[in-house]
Chains A and B, each alone.
Chain A
Amino acid sequence: DVKVTQSSRYLVKRTGEKVFLECVQDMDHENMFWYRQDPGLGLRLIYFSYDVKMKEKGDIPEGYSVSREKKERFSLILESASTNQTSMYLCASRLKREGPRSGELFFGEGSRLTVL
């Protein structure tokens, strides 16, 4: 089974702190994604990566950056955390970039971040 592991289930940070959210997948997937999930807003795509050292902005990239130095690892960085970044963050990966299975994402369990 594909396993997508997020480094922390729960984090509490202060406004202005730099925050790193780490995600590792063990199935050699090329594509990886970061979403955030908020009540009433569903899942929103922050950034994604098609391959190592590649990154693309999603729908809400402002205030975030990402790093993909190794194929299995995709990091989300909040350079200066703000209270409106309090949210559930979800990492995902996928095997196929095109075709029907490109809609088959494997998600981690999520990281719930609270910014005070």
Chain B
Amino acid sequence: DAKTTQPPSMDCAEGRAANLPCNHSTISGNEYVYWYRQIHSQGPQYIIHGLKNNETNEMASLIITEDRKSSTLILPHATLRDTAVYYCIVRVAGNAGNMLTFGGGTRLMVKP
């Protein structure tokens, strides 16, 4: 799997958009980008995934650059409950034995 690079921490004001970047410059054509988050003392929670098109669901939007070397997770109106560690993971989706590898992630602090 391609390696990902994320900033270790970010702050965001409550009610504003939180934009979390992820670099994956060695991504290959069949690798998907997955995002998870982990709120303190809880298990990770799946947020969204994408291949090359932008994706949106009820939790967030995922913007993947045209060259697929980076992506941004957008929480459009961050709340205090969005304070968590956010993980960007790149993985070949078709391989059942290919497990998720969680790196260090970005610690997002949403402030009032």
Contacts and interface: CB of A to CB of B under 8 A. Distances in A.
B102 A109 contact: no
Contacts of A4: 43
A74 interface: no
Contacts of A45: 99
B94 A109 contact: no
B59 to A, nearest CB: 13
A108 B43 CA distance: 6
Interface stretch (B17-25, B45-53, B63-71, B76-84): B45-53
Given A42-B102, A110-B41, A110-B42, A104 B96 contact: no
Given A106-B46, A107-B43, A100 B103 contact: no
A91 to B, nearest CB: 8
A50 B97 CA distance: 9
Nearest to B104: A42
B91 interface: yes
A105 interface: yes
Interface string A80-111: 00000000001110000111111111111110
Interface of B: 32, 34, 36, 41-46, 49, 51, 89, 91, 93-97, 99-104
Interface of A: 4, 33, 42-43, 45, 48, 50, 56, 58, 90-92, 97-110
15 contacts: A45-B99, A48-B99, A50-B96, A56-B97, A90-B43, A90-B44, A91-B43, A92-B44, A98-B93, A100-B32, A103-B89, A105-B44, A106-B46, A107-B44, A109-B41
Shortest beta-carbon contacts, A-B, top 4: A107-B43, A43-B102, A97-B96, A100-B93
